[in-house]
Structure 1
Amino acid sequence: MPEARLDPRALQDLLPMHLWLDDAGRVLSVGRTLAKLVPGVAGDAGGAPDRHLAQHLACARPGQGPCSLAAIRAAVDRHLRLFLRVVATPDVVLRGHGVRMGDGTMLVNLGFGIGLHRAIRAADLTDDDFAPSELAMELLFLHEANRAVLTELSRFNDQLAQSREVALQQAQTDPLTGLFNRRGLEIALDRALRSPMDRPETCPLPFALIHLDLDHFKQVNDSLGHQAGDDLLRAVGAVLRSQIRKADTAARIGGDEFVMIVKGMTSRAGLEQLTQRIIRAVGDLSPPELGVLKVSASLGVVIWAPGGTTDPIALLALADAELYRAKEAGRGCARIA
């Protein structure tokens, strides 16, 4: 068979990632893409071509020899796969194989493997840097497409979680006042009666449960209209938010009834001060058009401590009983169990 002759231009077109070198390590030719990725590898080797080669390419796997030239020789002569690390960018590993030419020189063709995207970023490679038959750009496209899909899925999951959180919050919120609704109160009260999940060995904190009902609210709706009634309820909600802490709970459980959970509050004197502030603030909201029949607030209070009932319904019934005691006492006052 006639001996094949290598045209340097054809070699660049067919093997843009080739490395052609003699047995001493002197680089005879380097592909244009490999030259972009490992600049300087084709420079003047001086008196030590093997050391010059080792400055740019190093062994990427144990057992390939003490330097890149030894690894290349072993891979070529033993027909093994070759793995070389780019010294300037250690996270880029090249893989390939090589053959001996008729004159004893070595022709090695390298590729990227799974490190393709890192190599492309490191050398700013484009589609023109790969041979037409090379699947590298198609693989990169698949990698980027997969990453884009994963990013979109992550964004969708975040949106779904946010929507779920918003829906859950709306399901537990009274739309008129912005306070919790009955469902939100049930959840908050159940949590208040149980030990924290992260510290099950501890006891839940004591708290005060306050049941509030507006006096003469029906007259507001009958005399001034439902819009005036809604405005008053919103104003009462604002009063309750201003009188309790962020860690506490305020809820509108229906009509003109409100319930508060005030954590750590066990002092009767402190509760009397709190309820009197609420009574005064609600009284100030009474529409002057009602005349002598003013809106006021009646409150029933129960102090809960560990060892007490853990039945939320029973606890609410106790607070409701204290509320009716306040109503029977003349309204516009508070009773504490």
Structure 2
Amino acid sequence: MIRRFLAGLIAVLLSGCSSVSYYSQLASGQWQLLRARESVAEVIADPARPQGLREHLVQSQKARTFASEHLHLPDNQSYRLCADIGRPYVVWNVFATQEFSLSPENHCFPIAGCVAYRGYYSQGAARGEAALLRQQGMDVSIGGVEAYSTLGWFNDPIISSMLHWGDERLATLIFHELAHQRFYVKDDTEFNESFASFVEQEGTRQWRASRGLAPVSDAALQQRDQFIRLILDTRKRLETLYAQPLAREAMRQAKAAEFERLRLEYQQMRDSQWGGDKRYDAWINQPMNNARLLPFGLYDQWVPAFAALFRQEGGDWVRFYQAVRALGGLASQERKIRLRQLMNEYQGMDAQSTFDASRYK
């Protein structure tokens, strides 16, 4: 049945595509992932499997149950299956922008709608696409992805690429990906990823509390939030710069100066406020361009708005999802206006809330 359904899905995809080879690798990669699935319960019960793997999966199933029973995320076979893919990432996403723009080059699909990247199941294929885009003068970035959601079309497995982190990181991935199954708006990557990121973050807070664990260190949260704010501030300055009527060479020099300012401000913040903690050094010291900044705008832009909405609904997940659905049903511009209103409301929140609002500041 899966084979027949997949064949029909491939036919739909191919009927509207401009690159048969690209969609073929998508279909092939997804099919291989489906074939690799096996029951988590059976792996846990198999004494021949590594003990560490079995214990890791036991904890994952506790988080999976919590996701449905307490976070009201879909109760299906997703993440009650697992799959070994033998590589560190399931796909590699290629992000691209014009040289003087922070708008992503979107790619549209019949089911998922338009998204701000192209995914490849082969790192080599992703690098090949990136090289072609660079030849066209674009800013390009490649990011490995541990997991993705098929939006409920298939029962998504716990992929071996998700198992390199600890138990809590695995739980957060499950919460994030199930959120995409709970609600998804075509053609609005920022909305979808910010929504899933909020569910992931608040779900993780509640998951820790349910097990009697202390909240994640305020210092660690503050560092993460300060780093994200640094990137978002740089994005704003670049957007202002790119709107100026400058000659191309002058624009390139000003662009390079903004990225150098980002590095300098990061170093100052790291040394003066973080006690020299170098957790973000590897990222900040890589070659910089517009495309590398894209995920920050996509995954974090509206998280405070969803935090405000969650508070408005009294921390009730069912009411929150209903409110998210109503928000997602608005026309694109109306939705953005409402999200900005929620952002403003969030700014006025006091420190006390039905959830830990301080983690989003």
Q: TM-score, normalised to structure 2's length?
A: 0.23
| Structure (1 or 2) with the greater strand fraction | 1
From the CA coordinates, give the structure whose radius of gyration is larger.
Answer: 1
Higher relative contact order (CA 8 A, sep 6+): 2
